[in-house]
Amino acid sequence: MSESNDAFVRFINVQKSYDGETLVVKNLNLDIAKGEFVTMLGPSGSGKTTCLMMLAGFETATSGEIMLNGRGINKVAPHKRGIGMVFQNYALFPHMTVAENLAFPLQVRKVSKAETEQKVQRALDMVQLGHLGNRRPAQLSGGQQQRVAVARALVFDPDLVLMDEPLGALDKNLREQMQYEIKHIHESLGVTVVYVTHDQSEALTMSNRIAVFDDGVIQQLAPPPDLYERPLNAFVAAFIGENNQLHGKVVEIKGDDCKVQLDDGSIIHALKVNVDKVGDRTTLSLRPERVAIAPPEGQYPNVFEARVEELIYLGDHIRTRVSLCGTDEFIVKIPNAHAHASIARGETVQVGWAMEDCRALDAS
Amino acid sequence: MAQAQAHSGPMVTADGVPLKTSLRRAERRRKITAFMLVVPLLAFILLTFIAPIGDMLWRSVDNPAIINTLPNTVTALEDWDGEELPPEEAFAAMVEDLRVGQENRSIGQVGIRLNYEMSGARSLFSRTARNADSLEPPYKEALLDAHRRWGDVETWRLIKREGRPYTASYYLSAVDMRYADDGSVAMQPENQRIYVALFMRTLALSLAITVLTLLLGFPIAYLLATLPLRYSNLLMIMVLLPFWTSLLVRTTAWIVLLQQQGVINDLLVAVGLIGDDGRLTMMHNWIGTIVAMTHILLPFMVLPLYSVMKTIPPSYQRAARSLGANPFVAFVRVYLPQTVSGIGAGAILVFIISIGYYITPALVGGQSGQLISNLIADHMQRTLNWGLAAALGSILLGGVLILYWLYNRIVGIDNMKLG
């Protein structure tokens, strides 16, 4: 607890309501360290953008306190917070050139003309647009506008930069490229970034930590590998990556190993995550790539007969839909490796998985 | 092989017709259809807009009365130097013209026309023409006897000067000028100058109304563009409601409000701000014109502003705030520049409408609230000096076109958004 007290950004018991009847953000507590890249990830309406707007100062917290660098900022006007922000549709001022856009935050801070020019040029060079200073935003491509927006949010050397789904308007290739660029900028400048998105791959690529939002609550706050491999509840498991969900009842708990009886009667050995006692309903979460086809005898405690329903060739892997344990929506990813298992539709195969890969979560 | 052939000469279609001919043939039907759709409006505009304007421009210089009715006199005066009274032949020609003019009743036209330039000319012609048959040669003496103004060199100079098919004298009158005795152009006497002052007042009042509508309309348009839909719809209806009400009703409503025994004065007296004997004169002067016209023209400012503001996302101002600009700087440097096209459109619309406004100043303007259009109407309806009315109208039209040209040069007409 002592280490989080000198956190750079702190949300302390923050609540937000627009209509006085429902809470959009329910009792949010979040500490962000200096230099960290934290992503708020969640479906639309989960409260993540509201949190960002409260941090930027465009929305006021209904209750609770937001701290920035040890100082409460609830009553500080947005323009005095010194937070850079990249908006969803860039919000580049259309009547100014790119260079004027970048100079704007420096001019309102009364930075000298020479220094302004130098900083603008440095920021433009940082995003590799040094030659486009005299263009209007409308003359730039989407990706270039995006870079200008990032440069503008950084040009006045803020300690904290907020990004509100900045890559939403770009096509897939450009989006991936920009993800790497933002990541590199973050690493080289050491600036703290709070990033909002609903795109999980974006979040996984860039973040130090991801806060998964749903229904105004942070469901899990963890680094990307933890989030993917060790989801704490059924929502996170379903929201991050693909996963097979099996529903059943706990019949025996032995240390971490918990035996679950599915609705069709089959018994599965799963890792106990958030089930309490025998008799609880539970959702089992299992990543499709952790399921093996025709595993060697005795390797896995969970081995079942499965009927192949559908095969979809996706290049790097083959997505296979099989029916087992009373569901026909069970997905297995077969990597397109040398000498991979070759199976055909309608066949019956053995599939198996380890106890640790099958997580017993809340009933959801 | 086929392609190589096609490239060597003009392109042809598969059946050998030149491509251009074929394209023209294919497009013709579409073009005819498009033209047919335009025809009704084109005809309407030609008939009701272009033709009247052409006629007005024509009338402002057209001068047929004298050359048609006094053809012999005009010919006889051709060689006259204008120093002394013209020779006997000119007098004889005049008597001849007077007789013919009296017979076919066209002499009155001459009197009316010359009366614009020289008061008394009308009675001079009508009286002499009535007795033209009894005049005996030598006609010089006879005419001098009939009316002493025939002995005035000025009368003959006027006839010679206006004996041309086109005249600039309407335009001179319209800018408070006239021909001096020696035929040069001079200003009217001080006490007869009215039009230039009136043009200036029209410009000044229109400008004031434009500025007022902008000041009043800008905040409303901003609210309209930023409020949630259910409130902005209500507000929009309140803006448009006066728009849908008859102009006359609105103007008379202002009469009810502004007159000395009207609502506002009564209220001020009742509150005790002014005494009963100190009632404000807010009508039948320029205040009435400004107040009523500002109200009437407000929607013309609000609507273009609104349509431009609607397209400015709120994120721009947020971006400016997050970059460190206080609300005022964010407004002035980021929001305001983006509304320029709307301000330009609204301002030019209001200004052009108000510069030619007639009904409202006629009803509530009184003496100091009259605009140039009221005087044009006066010349059309009362003095029947259509030539002068046409000249005034043409100057107004020219002025608006110049302003429009200036606006285009400064702001650019492409930047104008009317809705």
Q: How far apart are the first and last CA of chain A?
A: 30
**Chain A residues within an 8 Å CB radius of B322:** 56-57, 78-79, 81, 83-85, 153, 162
Render pLDDT for B249-266 as a digit per residue (tens, 0 to 9).
888 888 889 888 888 889
pLDDT the model gives residue A103? 92
- pLDDT at B24 exceeding the cut of 70: yes
Taking only residues 149 to 188 of chain A, the set having a beta carbon closer than 8 angstroms to any beta carbon of chain B reads 152-153, 156, 162
CATH class as words, domain A2-234: alpha beta
User: Structural domain tally of chain B?
Assistant: 3
Same domain, B32 and B142: no
pTM, entire model: 0.77
Render pLDDT for A308-363 as a digit per residue (tens, 0 to 9).
888 888 888 888 888 888 787 888 888 887 766 677 788 888 888 888 888 888 77
**Residue A104 touches chain B, beta carbons under 8 Å:** yes
Categorize the per-residue pLDDT at B209 as very low, low, confident or very high, splitting at 50, 70 and 90: very high
pLDDT the model gives residue A3? 43
Q: CA–CA separation, B51 vs B43, rounded Å?
A: 10
Same domain, B224 and B338: yes
**Chain B residues within an 8 Å CB radius of A109:** 324
In a domain, B179, yes or no: no
pLDDT the model gives residue B8? 59
Same domain, B54 and B157: no
Compute the nearest-CA separation of A306 from chain B (Å).
53
- Hey, how many other C-beta atoms are within 10 angstroms of the C-beta on B246? 8
Same domain, B52 and B79: no
Categorize the per-residue pLDDT at B202 as very low, low, confident or very high, splitting at 50, 70 and 90: very high
Same domain, B263 and B293: yes
pLDDT the model gives residue B1? 42
In a domain, B218, yes or no: yes
Instruction: For residue B141, give both structure tokens.
Output: 């003496």
pLDDT the model gives residue A287? 87
* Amino acid making up residue B174: A
Compute the nearest-CA separation of A343 from chain B (Å).
52
- The answer to whether A90 touches A67, Cβ cutoff 8 Å, is no
- pLDDT at B417 exceeding the cut of 90: no
pLDDT the model gives residue A5? 57
Mean pLDDT over each residue of chain A, to the nearest integer: 85
Of A80, A94, A104, the CB nearest to B338: A94
- pLDDT at B196 exceeding the cut of 60: yes
pLDDT the model gives residue B133? 84
Same domain, B139 and B248: no
Report CA A158 to chain centroid distance, whole Å. 23
Region A106-113: mean pLDDT is: 90
**Chain B residues within an 8 Å CB radius of A104:** 320, 323, 325, 333
Helix pair angle (B195-226, B229-244), 10° resolution: 150
pLDDT the model gives residue B336? 92
- pLDDT at B219 exceeding the cut of 80: yes
Region B177-186: mean pLDDT is: 80
Render pLDDT for A6-40 as a digit per residue (tens, 0 to 9).
788 888 888 888 888 888 888 888 889 888 999 99
Q: CA–CA separation, A165 vs B60, rounded Å?
A: 66
Mutation target among A58, A73, A163 for the B interface, most CBs of B within 10 A: A58
Mutation target among A87, A156, A159, A196 for the B interface, most CBs of B within 10 A: A87
Same domain, B122 and B200: no
Q: CA–CA separation, A203 vs A206, rounded Å?
A: 6
Surface-to-core class of residue A218, CB atoms within 10 Å of its CB (0-12 exposed, 13-18 middle, 19+ buried):
buried
Compute the nearest-CA separation of B348 from chain A (Å).
22
Render pLDDT for B74-104 as a digit per residue (tens, 0 to 9).
888 888 887 888 888 888 888 888 888 888 8
Same domain, B279 and B411: yes
Q: CA–CA separation, B24 vs B7, rounded Å?
A: 20
pLDDT above 70: percentage of residues in chain B: 96
Instruction: For residue B174, give both structure tokens.
Output: 């319209």
Residue A121's nearest CA partner among A113, A130, A112 is A130
- pLDDT at B50 exceeding the cut of 80: yes
pLDDT the model gives residue A339? 65
ipTM (interface predicted TM): 0.78
Region A65-90: mean pLDDT is: 87
The range of the structural domain enclosing residue B142 comes to: 64-167
Q: CA–CA separation, A129 vs A151, rounded Å?
A: 10
Categorize the per-residue pLDDT at B17 as very low, low, confident or very high, splitting at 50, 70 and 90: confident
Render pLDDT for A115-169 as a digit per residue (tens, 0 to 9).
999 989 988 888 888 888 888 988 888 888 888 998 999 888 888 999 988 887 7
Region A73-87: mean pLDDT is: 88
**Residue B285 touches chain A, beta carbons under 8 Å:** no
In this predicted model, which residue has the larger pLDDT, A302 or B53?
B53
Instruction: For residue A245, give both structure tokens.
Output: 């969900």
Categorize the per-residue pLDDT at B44 as very low, low, confident or very high, splitting at 50, 70 and 90: very high
Region B181-199: mean pLDDT is: 84
**Chain A residues within an 8 Å CB radius of B315:** 87-89, 91
In a domain, B305, yes or no: yes
Report CA A217 to chain centroid distance, whole Å. 14
pLDDT the model gives residue B223? 92
Contacts of B262 (CB under 8 A, 6+ apart): B255, B256, B283
Last residue of a domain, one of B130, B149, B167: B167
pLDDT the model gives residue B4? 46
Pairing verdict, β A348-353 and A302-313: antiparallel
Render pLDDT for B313-353 as a digit per residue (tens, 0 to 9).
888 988 998 898 888 999 999 999 999 888 988 998 899 99
Surface-to-core class of residue B86, CB atoms within 10 Å of its CB (0-12 exposed, 13-18 middle, 19+ buried):
buried
Q: CA–CA separation, A130 vs A151, rounded Å?
A: 11
pLDDT the model gives residue A194? 92
Render pLDDT for A167-223 as a digit per residue (tens, 0 to 9).
877 888 888 888 888 888 888 888 899 999 888 888 888 889 999 988 888 888 999
The helix (run of H) or strand (run of E) holding residue B327 is helix B327-329
Domain A242-291+300-361, what architecture? Answer: Beta Barrel (2.40)
pLDDT the model gives residue B394? 93
**Rama region for B284: left / alpha / beta (φ>0; ψ in -120 to 50; rest):** left
- pLDDT at A4 exceeding the cut of 50: no
For chain A, give every domain's residue range. Answer: 2-234, 242-291+300-361
Same domain, B28 and B151: no
CA dihedral B385, B389, B391, B395 (to 10 degrees): 160
Residue A253's nearest CA partner among A269, A232, A237, A231 is A269
Kindly tell me the sign of the dihedral angle through the C-alpha atoms of A103, A118, A68, A41. positive
**Residue B267 touches chain A, beta carbons under 8 Å:** no
- Hey, how many other C-beta atoms are within 10 angstroms of the C-beta on A313? 8
DSSP conformational letter for A283: E
- pLDDT at A1 exceeding the cut of 60: no
Residue A131's nearest CA partner among A121, A139, A141 is A121
Report CA A38 to chain centroid distance, whole Å. 9
What are the C-alpha distances in Å from A346 to residues A61, A303, B109? 57, 19, 109
